[in-house]
Structure 1
Amino acid sequence: MKRSLRNRQERGAALIIGLILITVASLLAITSMRGSRMQEMMTSNQNNKLISQMAAEAGASELFEWASSLTATQWMSWRNGDLLWDTNRIPTEDGGSPFIGNFGFFWIDPSELTWVVSPNAQVTAQVNGAARRDDVPESLAITRISVVLEAPSAVANAGVSPFEDGVVGCSGINMTGSGQIDSFDSNLGGYDEWYTDISAGEARRNSLRTNVTVRTTQADATGSLSGNAPIYGDLVFTGSNLSLSGGTPVYGNVSAEGNVSANGNIQGTLTAGGNVTFGTASTQGGHVMAGGDAVVQATANPPPSIDAAGKSQWPDWWKWDPKLQALSEKYRSDVDLTIPSLINSGESCDQLELRDPKTDTPGKMFADVWNNPNTLQASEWLKSNCGTKCIDDKAKKLTLTGTGSSTSTIGVSGQQLMLRVDKELTTSGNLAGIRIEGDVTLVVDGNFDLGNNTQLQIAKDASLTLLVTGKTTLSGGSNLLGESPSFVRGDGDSKKAAVQLFSSYKDANNNQPGVFVGGANNSHVAVYAPHTAVRVVGSGEIFGSLRGRYVDIRGSGDVHFDEALDAVTYGTSGGGGQANPAAFRSMVEILP
């Protein structure tokens, strides 16, 4: 009886132990299955990540191969939107290009291309690579990389475009007040006129376009943008410290060789070779790349992402705000970055050599007109064509004058006229206006002062080229206006601005401008003064471009860059060497 009870007890214990072992084995099996599933998912995710990286790198390689086949002219067409990369397509479900096999694909959104027009003509492209799981088609692993390419160089002797950027202060830019800088295209009509954008299928205003670059060229350049002077375009700064203060908004990209202190709105990307400090600045979705540290302070609208070769820093109190804390996770430090230099050591501020580099005197452009046998003495021509009442010829000054509201005409329609003045040239209060007919070139060996409310009218298809060795003053109330909206005259290599001012005046003092535009002066003029400061004050407007050793824009005056000036070149246009292809500058992965 006792043995039977003991046997039953032993069998019961064995059953319990067996059940426990089965349970433990089941748990181990389930854990192992879960671990295997987790490992499988991790392996799959890693595989998808690798596929997306390979797809992005394949896209970058194909983009570079395509870009390196472009000529300098084709690169310009790409920049202007007239030429599209042939793989700028939305991926298709049939697995066609730009898919990589059946698993990965890449694409580039043309709207994400960021252009730095000068000095090295670079483009930053965001290349997207993605991997797709066949069982879950909507699940994607995406890698985004930023690729910087440099334009192919133009063929040697292909000519110089002295007005192409818009506003160039080689040694420095100073902007105060509330004047704005933007662009328009006189080929489409006058500033702020309506035109039809065929590609968009809609009517638009020919104003506030963003195809202007405000830039410096020298390594020791100074830059201060204060007040509330908006720039509807890009800003390229080659000095060591750029200050954006007073809420100055830039509706484009900012590229700097050195440090940037930003207070104001930056719509596009910000790339700096040094440190970046955001005080009260705000951004509108632009990525930040800093070759040094990136410090975000009290801004209410911080940048969406930062890559810094140094440290990325932000306020400590962000940790209490879930949104800001999540944003800070996109601020990367110690990133291996290559920030391309903005300084082109081969670029001279005086691209056209208005001053002879050997003698430091007015150069070939002046001599060719002054010594041309067809060039006439201005005083003699004026006496012969409008009588003695239209001029006052003194020993040191030639004054264009008149009676009451009279207007003097210089030039003959359809003909070329070259005049020279070996003294100061000015206008008097009795002269209401000067009308330019034909193609007039006027070289003044002295100061030129267009003032006293004198109106200078450029007839349709006429042009005026001013070559001045002294100071140039366009004072209050004087205007240089064209009767035709188009600002460019001629065809092919003979294209020129309707009014173009070349000043060989030299002065290193920024407070003694060699070109002065003041008062309520509205002028269509392309200014090239590489050896002196150019100052624009008051409430007038400049329609054209400015290039000076130093550019100082004050008050509420606006500068409207005419994009048509890109077509104006000086120098020979054929032969002279081979162009260098586009160059690959850098590539860095961007956090999602």
Structure 2
Amino acid sequence: MNKRAFNLPKNHQGFALITVLVISFLGSLIVFDTIQENLNQERMAGNYSKELNARLQAENGLAEAYNMLSADSTLSTDDMMTQLNSAQNDAGGYHHNIDAWLDSDIREVNSSGFHYDGTYAMRGSFSLASSSGNTVFTGAITTCDGATLGGSGTIDSYDSSEGAYDSSNPGNNGDVSVLNEDASGLDLSGSSPIDGNVSINGDLTMSGSASISGDAHVSGNIDLGSSGSIDGNAQATGNVTNSYSSTTMDSISANGDVTILNSYDNPISYSGELNYPSYGSVSNATYYDTDQVSAVGTEPCDVLDLASEFANTTDGVGSLSSTTPTDYSFSYWPYTDYVFTDAGLESYNKSTGTTDSFDTETATIDFLGEDTEVYVMSIDNFQNGNTITIESGNNVTIYLSGNTSIEDKIYVEDGATLTIITEDTFTTTADGGVYALDSDGNTATSAVNSDGDNSFILYSGYDSEGDNSDYGITLSGSTDMFLTAYAPNAAMNVTASGDIYGSLRTDYLNVTGGAGVHFDEQITNTTIGDSDSSSSTPTITRWF
């Protein structure tokens, strides 16, 4: 059978050719449109990255200004300008100019950050006015040499002027600071969250599931371990290693390497190497050939110069070492309530109902710039169901001679204060501790009484030695306690299950129990020695 070729008519052949050309043209338009859209998206992403990095540089500029004013608040405008701008760099830095003083206490600093052709201008207003309150206790935890937080309690804050602490709605000013330039840093090995910022000299190491809700600024390395997280910005003068699970950081900045263990889409700036696995991705990283992260500011650890108070053997605390203390022993029977009244120390015998007065050794010393009457006592092994009460209207200062162990309760009524000064160890166990009371005699909700004073302050002159395990203060009680502690040379060990309401300032802090530290923000308004009257520490009142 013969086969015959099938040919389209010529007019049909032309129509097919036109159809192919039209389809090809439309396809080309779609391709070009897609390419154009991709280019636009790349430009937008690039501009966004430049703006974010420029803003970061502007913020670094304000941080430099703050650190400089903290170090020397008397700097002239010209000197400050010279020092600030000498720290800028051309690969993505910042530039300052300073407006004239708006008045005698306010200075405004303009910080212009830039990243390639991206720019961002920011203005910060700094107040240098002496203000009421203190700058000694401004966060939950301040240490000189470092801290190990391995417990399960929460580090956060609350404002007691607005009511009692509410664990379901805590404040986010539970800041943690490590001050010394050569400090060991912060080791978070537990599961407790920090609701606040951390400012650390030394490394920040996280090996548990702990989290930081704010920013982390570290003069050293940041290692989030396998499951640690930082919700704010992570800035390190060294390296930053992200965790497998943490993808919520606002940004990462490192003068060294950045290592991502999974994927990360937020801005990264680095001056070392960028490392991430083949299955991961990084979409917004920028390399700088100069450092972008400024060092964490340092300050003297013993800002009150407590060491000199203990060294003053003429009319200071040091003179009490030669004073024979009144020694109290506490028996199982009869149970006795001891009360500090306007007349001095009295005792109430629960068995007989009789009241007796005690002739207690006292002395007047110069302490933190004030003439202070001090009870010189030894109350080691305070236990067996006895109590001590500071009656309302009395501001009692006790110098504790020798090591002190408290297993029973000390009550501080509203309108009263208790200040304990010791150079030896101070320990609470079992139900022992100091408890603030409100005007109705119930447990208070604040570390600050209705007169605006700290209910209980502990000043420790203990000088820890060795590897931070020589503890000057040990808290192992099972009930909550209100405590403002100042121990710049002492290591503190917290194994308690009860919470601490107040603020801690120590040389080193170790937490292994379930205790949380809840910073009462009203403490910043209280008087600590004479530190409140001469403070000129800068405060950032606004930035825009």
**Band the TM-score falls in, shorter-chain normalisation:** 0.5 to 0.7
Residues 280 and 572 (structure 1), Cα distance of their counterparts in 2 relative to 1, 3 Å cut: closer
Does 2:176 correspond to 1:214?
A: yes
Counterpart of 1:233 (choices 196, 199, 207) is 196
The 5 A counterparts of 1:161-176 are: 161-176=135-150
Q: Mark the CA change 1:408 to 1:422 in structure 2 (over 3 Å): closer, same or farther.
A: closer
Structure 1 vs Structure 2 CA RMSD: 4.9
Q: Deviations over 1:14-49 (max 9, x none)?
A: xxxxxxxxxxxxxxxxxxxxx9xx99xx99x999x9
Question: Quick one: which amino acid aligns to residue 145 of structure 2?
Answer: S
Contact in 2 for aligned 1:535/1:552 (Cα 8 Å): yes
1:318-343 deviation digits (Å, cap 9, x = unpaired): 3xxxxx4xxx1212223655312213
| Aligned partner of 1:563 among 510, 518, 521 | 521
Q: Deviations over 1:158-184 (max 9, x none)?
A: 885221122011101111131221111
Counterpart-to-counterpart distance in 2, 1:399 and 1:125: 63
CA distance in 2, matches of 1:363, 1:265: 52
| Corresponding position: 1:351 with 2:307 | no
Please name the residue that 1:410 is paired with.
Answer: 340
In the TM superposition, residue 289 of structure 1 has moved relative to its aligned partner by 0.8
Residue of structure 1 in register with 2:187 after alignment: 224
* Alignment correspondent of 1:30: none
Structure-to-structure mapping, 1:467-546, within 5 angstroms: 467-484=421-438, 485-489=445-449, 496-509=453-466, 510-546=468-504
2:386 is the counterpart of 1:456: no
Give the partner amino acid of 1:306. I
> Number of paired residues?
426
* Secondary structure in structure 2 of the residue aligned to 1:470: coil
TM (norm. structure 2) is: 0.65
Contact 1:170 1:550 in 2 (8 A): yes
For residue 535 of structure 1, give the secondary structure of its aligned residue in structure 2: strand
**2: CA distance between counterparts of 1:62 and 1:257?**
17
The residue type equivalent to 1:470 in the other structure is D
Equivalent position of 1:440 in the other structure = 395
CA distance in 2 between partners of 1:124 and 1:471 (Å): 49
**Hey, what's the Cα distance between the residues in 2 that align with 1:228 and 1:61?**
34
* SS at structure 2 position matched to 1:356: helix
The amino acid across from 1:487 in the alignment is A
User: Which residue in 2 is equivalent to 1:265?
Assistant: 229
Write the distance in 2 (CA, Å) between the matches of 1:487 and 1:528: 14
What is the CA-CA distance between 1:267 and the residue it aligns to?
Answer: 1.2
Query: 1:302 Cα shift?
Result: 3.8
CA contact 1:515–1:534 (8 Å) conserved in 2: yes
> Which residue is equivalent to 1:113?
none
Question: Cα 1:356–1:581, aligned 2, differ >3 Å: closer, same or farther?
Answer: closer
Residues 163 and 481 of structure 1, relative CA distance in 2, 3 Å threshold: same
How many Å separate the matches in 2 of 1:227 and 1:128? 39
CA distance in 2 between counterparts of 1:552 and 1:124 reads 41
Closer, same or farther: CA 62–458 of 1 in aligned 2, 3 Å: closer
1:252–1:267 Cα contact (<8 Å) kept = yes
SS of aligned partner of 2:138? coil
- Which TM-score applies when normalising by structure 1? 0.61
Per the alignment, residue 304 of structure 1 pairs with 266
Mapping of residues 333-412 of structure 1, within 5 Å? 333-334=287-288, 336-344=290-298, 347-356=299-308, 360=311, 366=317, 397-399=327-329, 403=333, 406-412=336-342
Superposition deviation, residue 569 in structure 1: 3.8
Matches within 5 A, 1:72-83: none
CA distance in 2, matches of 1:183, 1:165: 8
Q: Give the partner amino acid of 2:516.
A: D
Q: Which of 192, 209, 212 is the matching residue for 1:250?
A: 212
Q: Is the 8 A contact 2:311 2:317 kept in 1?
A: no
% same residue:
23
Q: Give distance in 2, aligned partners of 1:124 and 1:551.
A: 38
Partner amino acid, structure 1, of 2:235:
T
CA deviation vs aligned residue, 1:88-139 (integer Å, no higher than 9, x gap) = xxxxxxxxxxxxxxxxxxxxxxxxxxxxxxxxxxx9999999xxxxxxxxxx
- Paired letter, 2:199: V
**In structure 2, what is the Cα distance between the partners aligned to 1:172 and 1:63?**
24
CA distance in 1, matches of 2:410, 2:457: 13
The answer to whether the Cα contact below 8 Å between 2:149 and 2:188 also exists between their aligned partners in 1 is yes
Q: 1:349 to 1:556 in 2, by over 3 A?
A: same
Pair 63,250 (structure 1): closer, same or farther in 2 beyond 3 Å:
closer
Give runs of aligned pairs for residues 286-325 of structure 1, distance below 5 A.
Answer: 286-297=250-261, 299=262, 302=264, 304-318=266-280, 324=281
Structure 2 CA distance for partners of 1:520 and 1:279, relative to 1, 3 Å:
same
In the TM superposition, residue 425 of structure 1 has moved relative to its aligned partner by: 2.2
Residues in 2 aligned to 1:460 and 1:295: alpha-carbon distance in whole angstroms: 53
1:218·1:343 contact (CA, 8 Å) conserved in 2?
no
CA deviation profile, 1:351-384 (whole Å, cap 9, x unmatched) = 1111119x8568987369x69xxxxx998xxxxx
Deviations 1:368-413 (A, max 9, x none): 9x69xxxxx998xxxxxxxxxxxxx6xxx43356745543211349
CA distance in 2, matches of 1:57, 1:284: 21
